[in-house]
Structure 1
């Protein structure tokens, strides 16, 4: 039992350390997102492989800020299916894919939307910003993704308040 706990702890520690190494990538993604929000863009979030609930959470975070004084930003959850992106999306929008399939973001990129991918393990889909949770364990990856999208939310607001980009 102790060995299993040690392995679980080591996996979480490694993924957390890897997240720290991605700090600049998270800041760059937030800067690009704030520029899109500033120009009237919306956040369109979807999640594959259990990520649909996280996509809904992201949309709620952006549209209903829990911190007094933070402004609501336009966001929609597409659930688990990004197939409506060509219909709903506009060139100034942001598409956030949580554990996207390799080709999920291609249409969004073709239409000029900013693409941000929260990935699991070593997968790297084509996206403007790829933010990996370096773990093959879906529960650990989800913890990292939750941390990442909360960091994105906070940083986007900081950039919008300062009216500067990263």
Structure 2
């Protein structure tokens, strides 16, 4: 490899390591969101996922994760993807539901929160004032940020099940 190629690879590696360390910093926030989500599922809530543009595919993936458990013995949880239409949240949503916004625009989760829905935002280096739980990827590289979000919603799925199982045993 030439010197320029090594420098590019070093930059890529550094960016991924920094994003990974930022994810470690978000673990507490992910666990808090999962605990709140498990409470909503326990009370009959559903997960409603939204994402605009390319984030709509990730919103669909979030819904699939919850409705199609990949681990034997884990229950399917009710989830719908509303695609790129956050305006549907107040139409489909109920107070006990969970609205998950993947890279939401300002205002995307406001109506859901005003209805009493639990709101979770997967953001990139930003805040989301209308979300109860903000999980930030903290990467300038959009592809790395997307990988971090995929990891986050897989963690949410797993932890929601952990909380549901631990509450069932008590």
TM-score of the alignment, normalized to the shorter chain, above 0.5: yes
State the TM-score bracket (shorter-chain normalisation): over 0.9
Q: How big is the shift at 1:49?
A: 4.0
Q: Secondary structure at the match of 2:107?
A: coil
Which among 73, 84, 91 is matched to residue 95 of structure 2? 91
Please state if 1:125 is matched with 2:131.
no
Report if aligned partners of 1:44, 1:77 keep a CA contact under 8 Å in 2.
yes
Q: TM-score, length-normalised on structure 1?
A: 0.96
* Aligned-CA RMSD value: 0.9
1:33 maps to 37
Give distance in 2, aligned partners of 1:35 and 1:114: 10
Q: TM-score, length-normalised on structure 2?
A: 0.93
Give distance in 2, aligned partners of 1:111 and 1:76: 18
Give distance in 1, aligned partners of 2:155 and 2:109: 22
Q: How big is the shift at 1:8?
A: 1.0
2:105 maps to 101
Give distance in 1, aligned partners of 2:53 and 2:119: 18
Show structure 1 runs of 4+ deviating over 3 A.
Answer: none
1:135 maps to 139
Which among 7, 22, 28 is matched to residue 3 of structure 1? 7
1:12 maps to 16
Q: How big is the shift at 1:130?
A: 0.2
List gaps (5 residues or longer) in structure 2.
none
- 1:139-154 to structure 2, matched below 5 A, reads 139-154=143-158
- 1:25-104 to structure 2, matched below 5 A, reads 25-104=29-108
List gaps (5 residues or longer) in structure 1.
none
- Count of aligned pairs between the two proteins: 163
1:101-128 C-alpha deviation (Å, 9 max, x unpaired)? 011111011100000000012x101210
